[in-house]
Amino acid sequence: MKRKSIMVAAFVFCVGLLSCLPAWSEVRLPKIFGDHMVLQRDQPIPVWGWANPACDVSVKLGDGPVQIATADAVGRWSLKLAPQSAGGPMKLTVSGETKIELSDVLIGEVWVCSGQSNMEFRVSASINAEQEIASAKYPRIRHIKIPRQPVGFPKEDVSDPKTQWTVCSPETVGSYTAVGYFFGRYLQKELDVPIGLINSSWGGTRIEPWTPPCGFAQVPKLADILRQVELTNPMNPLYKATLGNYLVALDSWIADAKRSLVEQLPVEPPPSYPKEISPLTSHQAPTTLYNGMIHPLVPFGIRGAIWYQGESNHGEGMLYCEKMKALIGGWRTVWKQGQFPFFYVQIAPYQYGNESSSILPAFWEAQASALKIPNTGMAVIHDIGNLKNIHPKNKQDVGKRLALIALAKTYGQDQLVFRGPTFKTLKQEGNRLRVVFDHVGSGLVARDGKPLNWFEIIGPDSVFTKAEAVIDGDSVLLSAPNVKSPCAVRFAWHKLAEPNLANKEGLPAVPFRAGEVPRRDWLSLKVDEAKDYKLVYDLDLAKLSQAIQYGEDHSSEIKGAFDRVAYCLELQKENGKSEFVYVSMDAFTDDVKKIGIPTVSSGVAFQQHVDNLNVI
């Protein structure tokens, strides 16, 4: 009996163990937690992970109290520790079926550093890299690089087991994000607290992959991207309907194929699987980098984010501002930390091949417009770029300028000059324009001591013309001899613009355009006889397609006879200047509908001599 009792007791004990056997074999933390990490000060500290379902997990930070969470049915647990002041080092202990003890944990300021190659750009590639690396003895700056991973659905954790926090030293700093490091170094010196840098960046990537679905849902102008994402979500009605229709078609094909097999008839190929519901896997597809490189970080406590991206989206104009709304709004939604600071870099001037010189300035305008999003800031770097290298090596000043914004807008240093001269108002004064600037700091200057450059003005009887620019207090007065009544201005409106207007604190002026460009007949300014003609058709050759669609078509307005017709071809060069050829001749038809571009569908064709031809 004694032997039998022992066996029963042992059996009961084993059953008790098996009932707690986990989906997870041990307590586990996401890889954003590790030795040497920095936790965000003065905020509740989220801690989460995985364990056996229904099992208790205890968490203790330093000498603080133990807090307990219970894993849910899928093994996930989470809790929030009480806010801590800056300090450390200390230990974070997590105990359940197993025990995790993380050491050298600091409490300070944590920033996410994200974007494309200019954020991923390493300290080892920056200017004065050898000296910067040798002097990088800042043990209270910590850095973690999130591995590249595009995925179709949100990942709970990053997959690379080597992902870890490192302590800033000459041995480690070379691989750090240069912009992030110089940003963090400036903050660390000014605030005298630990700094944590979470480097989640990938060269060459667009903004869409970094944006969560909820971000696209917040911006109506991005509904097409949201639909693309929703179509890949198996829980979405759009996905279910599309897959359902495909399965019906596939079932029908299978039935036909079986009949054809019996009757020995040829079989058509099966219907193709709908590509639009296939998982998004490319690192350029919407949401994929959020899923794989940002979602695993949420809800780790952060102060805010810095962002350096845009080169891969630079041809989109104001649409990029909408995408910034989606990115920032999406991140703030998933982090649930309110409108946390989001500071970004206005990309530098660069050649960008043979594209029009005005494309990049229109993108700068979109980036500046994103400042209307609450708690954002923009570092302008037109004076420290490299026209021949899309990766300027001076990342020290980029990081410092972002840090100045943070110090002023996040850390209460309200009197700090943190941005360069910014357009405020425009006023016409006779034959001059007065541009009043905000953020002039101690005063406006030409940073190189030369006459101000990159100002252009326009009037009703002129094209944009280089202006003489003179500083007058917090204003710049603009004039040009051949512009009698200037009404609009543009500044640094060229992809190669490196303007010299700055404030005395050394921060450059922000590109802008202001005023109302007059509606005028461009052609009549170039060709005198064109004043006697009326515009019938206008076509943008960049939009030329097989079906001719005119930008302007006034043919129905032309009443009565006409005796001459004229054509003008204008080509805009990459420097923004135009070349044109103008021809006029006696009319070769009396039908205004037949003087446009001849097409096969119109049946219009002329092959003949023309009379009284003028060519300019």
Residues 606 and 559 in one domain: yes
Residues 474 and 550 in one domain: no
Residues 503 and 577 in one domain: no
Residues 526 and 457 in one domain: no
Give the separation between CA 419 and CA 402, rounded to whole angstroms. 9
Domain that holds residue 258: 237-277
Long-range Cβ pairs for the range 252-260 (8 Å, 24+): none
Q: At residue 24, does pLDDT exceed 50?
A: no
Q: At residue 16, does pLDDT exceed 70?
A: no
Q: At residue 591, does pLDDT exceed 90?
A: no
Residues 426 and 492 in one domain: yes
Pairing of strands 56-61, 87-95: antiparallel
Q: Classify residue 534: in a domain, yes or no.
A: yes
Q: Classify residue 509: in a domain, yes or no.
A: yes
pLDDT for 549 equals 84
Q: Classify residue 126: in a domain, yes or no.
A: no
Among 5-9, 200-204, 342-346, 357-361, the least confident range: 5-9
Task: List alpha helices for 155-302, DSSP H.
Answer: 178-191, 213-217, 223-230, 237-263, 288-289
Q: Classify residue 489: in a domain, yes or no.
A: yes
Q: Which residues of 38-58 are buried (b: 16+ CB within 10 A; e: fewer)?
A: bbbbebebbbbbbbbbebebe
Q: Classify residue 35: in a domain, yes or no.
A: no
Residues 609 and 547 in one domain: yes
Domain final residue, candidates 213, 248, 277: 277
Among 245-254, 366-375, 504-513, 524-533, the least confident range: 524-533
Give the separation between CA 569 and CA 555, rounded to whole angstroms. 19
pLDDT for 573 equals 63
pLDDT for 531 equals 77
What lies within 8 Å, CB to CB, of 350 at 6+ separation is 311, 360, 385, 386, 387, 389, 390, 495, 496
What pTM, to 2 d.p., does this model score? 0.86
Q: Classify residue 482: in a domain, yes or no.
A: yes
Residues 484 and 451 in one domain: yes
Among 80-89, 268-277, 419-428, 544-553, the least confident range: 544-553
Residues 543 and 504 in one domain: no
Domain final residue, candidates 515, 541, 559: 515
Residues 537 and 503 in one domain: no
437 - beta bridge partners?
423
Residues 593 and 530 in one domain: yes
Q: At residue 46, does pLDDT exceed 60?
A: yes
Give the separation between CA 577 and CA 571, rounded to whole angstroms. 9
Q: At residue 7, does pLDDT exceed 60?
A: no
Digit-coded pLDDT (tens) for 454-513: 999 999 888 899 999 999 999 999 999 999 999 999 999 999 999 999 999 999 999 999
Residues 546 and 461 in one domain: no
Q: Which residue has the tokens 């809800």?
A: 299
Contact 570, 580 (CB under 8 A): yes
pLDDT for 435 equals 98
pLDDT for 604 equals 82
Q: At residue 236, does pLDDT exceed 80?
A: yes
Q: Classify residue 468: in a domain, yes or no.
A: yes
**Number of structural domains in the chain:** 3
| Cβ burial, residue 221 (10 Å; 0-12/13-18/19+) | middle
Task: List alpha helices for 314-467, DSSP H.
Answer: 319-335, 359-369, 395-409
Q: Classify residue 132: in a domain, yes or no.
A: no
What's the mean pLDDT in 530-551?
Answer: 81
Q: 541: pLDDT confidence band, cut at 50, 70 and 90?
A: confident
Digit-coded pLDDT (tens) for 287-315: 999 999 999 999 999 999 999 999 999 99
pLDDT for 10 equals 32
Retrieve residue 208's tokens: 């869409």
pLDDT for 521 equals 65
Residues 597 and 576 in one domain: yes
Q: 8: pLDDT confidence band, cut at 50, 70 and 90?
A: very low
Digit-coded pLDDT (tens) for 354-399: 899 999 999 999 999 999 999 999 999 999 999 999 999 999 999 9
Digit-coded pLDDT (tens) for 70-81: 999 999 999 999
pLDDT for 520 equals 61
At 511, give phi and psi (nearest 5°).
-60, 150
Domain final residue, candidates 277, 305, 330: 277
Q: Which residues of 565-578 are buried (b: 16+ CB within 10 A; e: fewer)?
A: bbebeeeeebebee
